Amino acid sequence: MTDFNTNDTMVEMFLFETAQLLEQLEQVILSSDMNNYYSEENINEVFRIMHTIKGSSAMMMYNEISVLSHAIEDLFFYLREENPEQNFCSSLNDLILDCVDFIKVELEKIRNHDDVDGDATNLVNKIKDFLSELKKNSGSNVSNEHYEVEKVNLFKAVIFFEEGCEMENIRAYSVIHNLKKVASKVIYYPQNILDDDGSVEVIRREGFKIHLKTDKTKDEVYNHLMDTVFLRELEFAEIDEETFSEGFDKEVFDYSSSEISLQDANYEEENNNQEGNILHKPDENVKDSQEEEKLHTDMRKINLEEEKKQPNAENHNVMPTQNIISVSVAKLDKLMDLVGELVIAEAMVLQNPDLEGLELDNFQKSARQLSKITDEIQDMVMSVRMIPLSATFQRMNRIVRDMCRKLNKEIQLEIKGEETEVDKNIIERITDPLMHLVRNAVDHGIETADERQLKGKPKHGTITLEAKNVSSDVHIIVRDDGRGLDKNKILRKARQNGLITMDEADMSDSEIYKLVLLPGFSTNENVTEFSGRGVGMDVVAKNIESIGGSISIQSEENKGTQMTLKIPLTLAIIDGMNLKVGKSTFTIPTITIKESFRTNKESIIVDPDGNEMIMVRGECYPIIRLNEFFKVETDVTDISDGIITMVSQDGNAICVFADRLLGQQQVVVKSLPEYIKRFKHIKGIAGCTLLGDGSISLILDIASLIHIK
């Protein structure tokens, strides 16, 4: 989303917003799908989303999208108003998801500056058919009539409130509000009941006059009006069309001919905002509806934020202000570099040699303040680029659902660690590979329900999507409890395609599984719609490698398969402990650290090869002296002068010997420069980071250090 032309900010904004709305819409539909029921909240949500998309796409002249969203809006309007029996849920979901896909395709075209030529007529017709089907089936034709039949019964009422009841205008307003439920059209006098305090007098003197159009009988309406609180007197009569349309020559508002006014009314109510002019005639004023559009857009943004914080919370009562902006990543990069410069400049000023030996109390005080602020800026800038994986993971829900329906499988998707934060660039580049792995798991991994029952497994397959920070990597794990990989089948296939380069007998399990990642390999004989074209896994592997990651595969027959993507966290923020060795600084990811301690010569065990080990609580751990390992000059060579840090990963632990600990801080992991990486992969170094004073620290790759020992 960052790379399209920034000139066209309107289009950009439209794409951004609509994409977000669609994502939200998908979530709503999927959650309804899970419950097989549309709650009132969800219906409102869909309605609102489609309403916003309709408005903004119409404004941008994308007619097909607008027509389509209008159709969906109509459908959900019906659902909301009529609340019919919900036995249609899954077919409706399919239909709406199809529409979502259509809009997505169109958005993609807009983004690529292609012609927006999609034809939604088919979908629109489908929705209309669906709607009329619903209406037919719901058996509530009578109550529907006022949506289709304009003229039914016309009445006139004059209401007098009890004297001294006060606030007649508010009471009158609530009468109108209540009438909405029974009447399709209401006109009344005095009109400005809420704005104009003078209306109170008029109502006291002349009564509150109402003309209404409804499908209810005279008695029903009469009873309804009689329920009014503090009612003193009610004049009630039937009138003819002419009298009705003459009205009081005042403001007319119409509930049935357009949803916009209703939507507007509800929306305002939710804000507890009893403005007098809330009920305006639809299509009367284009500007109004545009403003409303904007209001909705803003509302959505707030809702978005709110939902992130408290997914289940009601979030209607938020005042509309804009508090999310989108910024191009290039600008953030620039900002980050500038902050780096700022920090260095700060250090240059504060540690300026000219200041040496001077007693400057006030200067020091201000300097501390400055350092505090620059620190905060640095933290802030670093965290801005990071976004949680949750959106990416949530997308997989949709894929699993769609495929389950097509393939007739029952699969549950479990998501763990979605709050793990990864740099935006990386998220963009792992989405496709991840999608592929999930598809593979659904398609090839999980067996059909019958097959599973035969094997004595639960009918529901489970796919787990997990993310976690593991030292310098983010691990993303796709695990299924399906049939697992068939080693013989893989070998046979690899042999056929001439992919085997070493002795088969010598190959370890993981080496065999790795064959799957080679180009031109696909184990599934039946190519399906979703996967199995033989171009899959090697592309995944290539994509992951291109960002410096790797894939490992574990599998057990009939137990399942686990694919682990190790994604480097270039730019990902980790908590690190800085160690000093000679003049060099090294950083260890804090998560790997078990403990730090001092020791003495006596507790060190040396084997005949000169390898040092230490006994801690009855366990023996190898020691790596960083100065020797990285050939750094240091004065601290006596084991009792330095400090030992025990680090562990994947259940293995080693001890690292350094001169001293510098302290803990959040660091942004940067990869080593391209030029250096071209020489060789440096063992034991995962990357580097900038320290607060602008100097560079090397980040230790704990996993590879353990491996070396």
Using the minimum distance from each CB to other proteins, give the nearer residue, 334 or 495.
334
Using the minimum distance from each CB to other proteins, give the nearer residue, 333 or 402.
333
CB of 689 to other proteins, least distance (A): 9
CB of 678 to other proteins, least distance (A): 8
Q: Which amino acid is at 160?
A: F
Q: Which of 591, 698, 700, 702 binds other proteins (CB under 8 A)?
A: 698
Contacts 24+ apart (CB under 8 A), 332-341: 332/381, 332/384, 332/385, 335/381, 336/381, 336/382, 336/385, 339/374, 339/377, 339/378, 339/381, 340/690, 340/694
Give the integer Cα–Cα distance in Å for 412 and 704.
35
Residue 353 binds other proteins, judged by CB under 8 A: no
Instruction: Give the binding-site size for other proteins (rule: CB under 8 A).
Output: 32
Residue 694 binds other proteins, judged by CB under 8 A: yes
Residue 674 binds other proteins, judged by CB under 8 A: yes
Give the integer Cα–Cα distance in Å for 441 and 555.
12
CB of 698 to other proteins, least distance (A): 7
Task: Report, as residue numbers or ranges, the catalytic residues.
Answer: 51, 73, 440
DSSP string spanning 379-431? HHHHHHTEEETHHHHHHHHHHHHHHHHHHT--EEEEEE-TT-EEEHHHHHHHH
Using the minimum distance from each CB to other proteins, give the nearer residue, 32 or 671.
671
> Residue 57's closest CA among 72, 39, 45, 35?
72
Strand 153-161 relative to strand 643-649: parallel, antiparallel, unpaired? unpaired
Residue whose entry in the numeric block shows the structure tokens 């574990």: 554
CB of 579 to other proteins, least distance (A): 14
Strand 652-658 relative to strand 619-625: parallel, antiparallel, unpaired? parallel
Using the minimum distance from each CB to other proteins, give the nearer residue, 337 or 641.
337
CB of 630 to other proteins, least distance (A): 4
CB of 315 to other proteins, least distance (A): 39
In the range 69-98, which residues lie near other proteins by CB under 8 A? none
Query: What kind and span of H or E run contains 623?
Result: strand 619-625
Tell whether omega for the bond before 190 is within 30 degrees of 0, i.e. cis: yes
Q: Which of 688, 700, 705, 706 binds other proteins (CB under 8 A)?
A: 688
Residue 350 binds other proteins, judged by CB under 8 A: no
User: How many other β-carbons are positioned within 10 Å of the β-carbon of residue 551?
Assistant: 22
User: How many other β-carbons are positioned within 10 Å of the β-carbon of residue 106?
Assistant: 21
Q: Contact at 8 Å (CB) between 570 and 669?
A: yes
- From the list 44-52, 178-186, 445-453, 689-697, the region that binds other proteins by CB under 8 A is 689-697
- From the list 91-99, 247-255, 521-529, 669-677, the region that binds other proteins by CB under 8 A is 669-677
> Residue 343's closest CA among 366, 375, 369?
375
- From the list 129-137, 227-235, 315-323, 665-673, the region that binds other proteins by CB under 8 A is 665-673
Give the burial string for 131-161 (b: 16+ CB within 10 Å, else e).
beebbeeeeeeeebebbeeeeebbbbbebbb
CA atoms lying within 13 Å on the CB side of residue 445: 31
- From the list 32-40, 205-213, 465-473, 685-693, the region that binds other proteins by CB under 8 A is 685-693
Residue 709 binds other proteins, judged by CB under 8 A: no
Give the integer Cα–Cα distance in Å for 389 and 173.
48
- From the list 152-160, 495-503, 514-522, 682-690, the region that binds other proteins by CB under 8 A is 682-690
Helix-strand-coil percent breakdown of the chain, rounded to 5? Answer: 50, 20, 30
Using the minimum distance from each CB to other proteins, give the nearer residue, 179 or 698.
698
Residue 193 binds other proteins, judged by CB under 8 A: no
CB of 661 to other proteins, least distance (A): 19
Q: Which of 205, 601, 617, 631 binds other proteins (CB under 8 A)?
A: 631
x/- mask, other proteins, residues 568-587, rule CB under 8 A, reads ----------------xx--
Using the minimum distance from each CB to other proteins, give the nearer residue, 84 or 692.
692
CB of 649 to other proteins, least distance (A): 20
- From the list 126-134, 489-497, 596-604, 666-674, the region that binds other proteins by CB under 8 A is 666-674
CB of 459 to other proteins, least distance (A): 53
Residue 697 binds other proteins, judged by CB under 8 A: yes
Using the minimum distance from each CB to other proteins, give the nearer residue, 534 or 694.
694
Q: Contact at 8 Å (CB) between 653 and 647?
A: yes
Q: Which of 357, 608, 610, 673 binds other proteins (CB under 8 A)?
A: 673
> Residue 221's closest CA among 205, 234, 208, 202?
234
Q: What are phi and psi of 231, to 5 degrees?
A: -80, 125
Using the minimum distance from each CB to other proteins, give the nearer residue, 170 or 345.
345
171, 262, 438 from 268: Cα distances, Å: 18, 10, 43
CB of 3 to other proteins, least distance (A): 18
Helical packing angle, 390-407 and 89-111, nearest 10°: 130
Residue 628 binds other proteins, judged by CB under 8 A: no
Residue 604 binds other proteins, judged by CB under 8 A: no
Q: Which of 82, 690, 692, 709 binds other proteins (CB under 8 A)?
A: 690
In the range 584-603, which residues lie near other proteins by CB under 8 A? 584-585
Structure tokens at 254: 């119409």
Residue 685 binds other proteins, judged by CB under 8 A: yes
Using the minimum distance from each CB to other proteins, give the nearer residue, 620 or 675.
675
160, 212, 234, 285 from 229: Cα distances, Å: 11, 19, 12, 35
Give the integer Cα–Cα distance in Å for 400 and 486.
23
In the range 376-395, which residues lie near other proteins by CB under 8 A? none
In the range 287-346, which residues lie near other proteins by CB under 8 A? 336-341, 344
Q: Contact at 8 Å (CB) between 593 and 647?
A: yes
CB of 690 to other proteins, least distance (A): 6
CB of 427 to other proteins, least distance (A): 22
Give the SS3 label for residue 218.
Answer: helix
Give the integer Cα–Cα distance in Å for 448 and 436.
19
Give the SS3 label for residue 509.
Answer: helix
x/- mask, other proteins, residues 101-140, rule CB under 8 A, reads ----------------------------------------
Q: Which of 672, 692, 707, 709 binds other proteins (CB under 8 A)?
A: 672
Give the integer Cα–Cα distance in Å for 666 and 668.
7
Residue whose entry in the numeric block shows the structure tokens 């003078």: 198
Using the minimum distance from each CB to other proteins, give the nearer residue, 146 or 580.
580
- From the list 37-45, 204-212, 431-439, 625-633, the region that binds other proteins by CB under 8 A is 625-633
E-state strands within 239-287: 252-254
Give the integer Cα–Cα distance in Å for 589 and 701.
9
Give the SS3 label for residue 571.
Answer: coil
Give the integer Cα–Cα distance in Å for 703 and 709.
10
CB of 355 to other proteins, least distance (A): 19
Q: Which of 632, 662, 707, 709 binds other proteins (CB under 8 A)?
A: 632
Residue 670 binds other proteins, judged by CB under 8 A: yes
> Which parts of this chain interact with other proteins (CB under 8 A)?
336-341, 344, 584-585, 629-632, 670, 672-676, 679-680, 682-685, 688, 690, 694-698
